[in-house]
């Protein structure tokens, strides 16, 4: 759904004595910023998820989690960030029970590059809860991930529960490589419960190729009495 990359690292003490974990950090590649997700806020103070004691007992394992986000200058270029596989390297520093320091720095870590296809459709805004049979708005972002210019037409197909408001077959015009456009759409649901937003179709008139988008997002539909 996003360009964020989550990295989970499992670190195990395979020695026969406890070790003090001095530092476990991720040095991101030049295209990413990193946020460590190994702390929680308690009473306004940041506290490690592993507690105040950072000793790792023999054969014990810890899981470290990091979130990488593309830097702004790369996030705006869909074709660039799509092919990036190098995300950074882990830097691990520890001490043994005798005070000896050890360090391990991994080689550059790789990820599987996501395949967006030629056209990527992502959801920018959608309400969490909507009223039954009352129109609501969503905003979509359409990105040309190919290396050619497209001429796009938008079709909206109703499902058993989701009904699109507006005229299907709208001309979106030409979209150049790595360019994006935002689209505001209106729809309503005729069925209560958790409903899937589906039924968008994009057709490139140059190649006569159609791209289908179903299960774009989910929205909770309630009766107006419940919401009020």
HEC string for 23-35: EEEEEECCCEEEE
Same fold, 5-112 and 119-222: yes
Q: Where are the domains of the chain?
A: 5-112, 119-222
Mean pLDDT of the chain: 87
pLDDT band for position 228 (50/70/90)? very low
Q: In whole angstroms, give the CA distance from residue 133 to residue 140.
A: 21
H helices of the chain, where?
Answer: 72-75, 78-82, 224-227
Q: What pLDDT, on a 0 to 100 scale, did the predictor assign at position 58?
A: 92
The model's pLDDT over 153-175, given as tens digits with 9 standing for 90+, comes to: 999 999 999 999 998 999 999 99
User: Residue 79 has which token pair?
Assistant: 């074709």
Q: In whole angstroms, give the CA distance from residue 227 to residue 50.
A: 40
CATH of range 5-112; options 1.20.120, 2.60.40, 2.40.10, 3.90.350: 2.60.40
Q: What pLDDT, on a 0 to 100 scale, did the predictor assign at position 90?
A: 94
CA 102 to chain centre: 35
The residue ranking higher by pLDDT, 111 or 179, is: 179
Q: What pLDDT, on a 0 to 100 scale, did the predictor assign at position 110?
A: 84
Looking at residues 212-228, what average pLDDT do you find?
82
Superfamily of segment(s) 119-222: Immunoglobulins (2.60.40.10)
Q: In whole angstroms, give the CA distance from residue 34 to residue 70.
A: 9
Position 75 pLDDT exceeds 90: no
177: three-class secondary structure by DSSP:
coil
The residue ranking higher by pLDDT, 76 or 156, is: 156
Q: What pLDDT, on a 0 to 100 scale, did the predictor assign at position 189?
A: 95
The residue ranking higher by pLDDT, 154 or 85, is: 154
Strand order in the sheet with 170-175: 170-175, 150-156, 200-204, 209-213
The residue ranking higher by pLDDT, 130 or 224, is: 130
The residue ranking higher by pLDDT, 110 or 210, is: 210
The model's pLDDT over 101-110, given as tens digits with 9 standing for 90+, comes to: 999 999 988 8
Residue 34 CB partners (closer than 8 Å, separation 6+): 26, 27, 28, 66, 67, 68, 69, 88
Q: What pLDDT, on a 0 to 100 scale, did the predictor assign at position 145?
A: 84
Position 227 pLDDT exceeds 50: no
């Amino acid at each position: 759904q996003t360009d964020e990359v989550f990295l989970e690292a499992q670190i195990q003490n395979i020695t026969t004595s406890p070790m003090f974990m001095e530092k476990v950090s991720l040095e991101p590649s030049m295209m990413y910023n990193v946020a460590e997700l190994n702390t929680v806020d308690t009473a306004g103070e940041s506290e490690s998820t592993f507690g105040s004691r950072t000793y790792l007992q023999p054969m014990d394992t810890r899981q470290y989690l990091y979130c990488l986000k593309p830097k702004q200058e790369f996030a705006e270029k869909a074709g660039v960030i799509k092919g990036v596989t190098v995300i950074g390297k882990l830097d691990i520093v520890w001490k043994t029970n005798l005070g000896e320091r050890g360090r391990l720095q991994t080689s550059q870590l790789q990820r599987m590059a996501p395949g967006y296809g030629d056209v990527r459709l992502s959801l920018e805004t959608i309400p969490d809860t909507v009223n039954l049979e009352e129109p609501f708005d969503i905003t979509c972002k359409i990105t040309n991930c190919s290396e050619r210019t497209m001429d796009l037409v938008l079709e909206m197909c109703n499902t058993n529960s989701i009904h699109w408001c507006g005229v299907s077959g709208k001309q979106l015009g030409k979209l150049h490589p790595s360019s994006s456009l935002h689209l505001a759409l209106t729809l309503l649901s005729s069925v209560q419960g958790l409903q899937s937003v589906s039924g968008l179709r994009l057709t490139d008139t140059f190649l006569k190729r159609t791209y289908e988008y179903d299960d774009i997002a989910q929205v909770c539909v309630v009766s107006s009495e419940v919401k009020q």
